Amino acid sequence: MQKISNLFLLIAVLAFAGCEKEISRPDDNYDPTLIDFQNPTVGQTNYYLGYTGQCGNVILTGDTLVLRIAEIKSDSLFFEEDFTPGSNSARLEPLKFGAKWSKDMLEMAPETRQSSSLFYFYGSDSLRLTQSPVKTLKQENCLVWDGSLTFTGDYIGKVDQFKVGVSTFKDKKIVSCVPVIFGLDGYLVYDRHNLYTSFTSSLSTCCGAPPPTNPNVQAFALLTAK
């Protein structure tokens, strides 16, 4: 009960930080048992708060994305991805998809990734859960840097801290969009147990509009009761 009270207190603080934008909350039956890729069970659920804006001015969208383990069969996990009632991006039906799973790897088909709000930009077939990072990277001005260059390519980095809105995730692995998509920097921040944020930053524009001064950011950040 204390965890649930802390969860709703955190949501209230985030709502205030997001210019008092209304946030769709988890329902009264919320179970704060997060997904654990090392010990998955049916019903484990992640809630992610949505963010949008430009680098340096990112606010809450009012969306809460839900990722739930719906079924486990042998070497596969089956997920449901949806939004809580009242979210601006609410779907008519949840997205249902499977992924080949082991404690070392989560592997998704391309059509699955393209439909997912969390994984759509990550062009690698697999998220390597236990493989060690090969470089230490740094987040600065919304982007992640590999020395003097922004982080791209099919390798695993480590980031001491990654900030999204008011959330900070420390000592996590990070992968970038693969292959490199022109005008888009995308990151998944995770560890062997869970996915903490899906984050994209872009200077691209539509319909002949001039490029923005600061990158446009779209992100989801894991909501925890801790």
CA–CA–CA angle 128, 93, 120 (5° rounding)? 30
Q: Which residue segments constitute the domains of the chain, with CATH numbers given?
A: 2-223 (2.40.360)
Higher local confidence (pLDDT), 159 or 214 = 159
How far is CA 169 from its chain centroid? 11
- Convert 111-120 to b/e letters by CB count within 10 Å (16 or more is b): ebbeebbbbe
From CA 102, how far away is CA 76, in angstroms rounded? 8
Note the pLDDT tens digit of each residue in 21-78: 344 444 444 445 899 999 999 999 999 999 999 888 899 999 999 999 999 998 999 9
pLDDT of residue 154: 84
Answer for the pair 25, 84: CB distance below 8 angstroms, yes or no. yes
Neighbours of 150 (CB within 10 A): 15
User: What pTM value is reported for the model?
Assistant: 0.82
Answer for the pair 212, 54: CB distance below 8 angstroms, yes or no. yes
- Residue-level length of the chain: 226
Task: Label residue 210 by pLDDT band (50, 70, 90).
Answer: low
Higher local confidence (pLDDT), 79 or 115 = 79
Taking the chain, what is the end-to-end CA distance rounded to the nearest angstrom?
12
pLDDT greater than 50 at residue 115: yes
pLDDT greater than 60 at residue 163: yes
**Mean of the per-residue pLDDT values for the chain?**
82
pLDDT of residue 12: 40
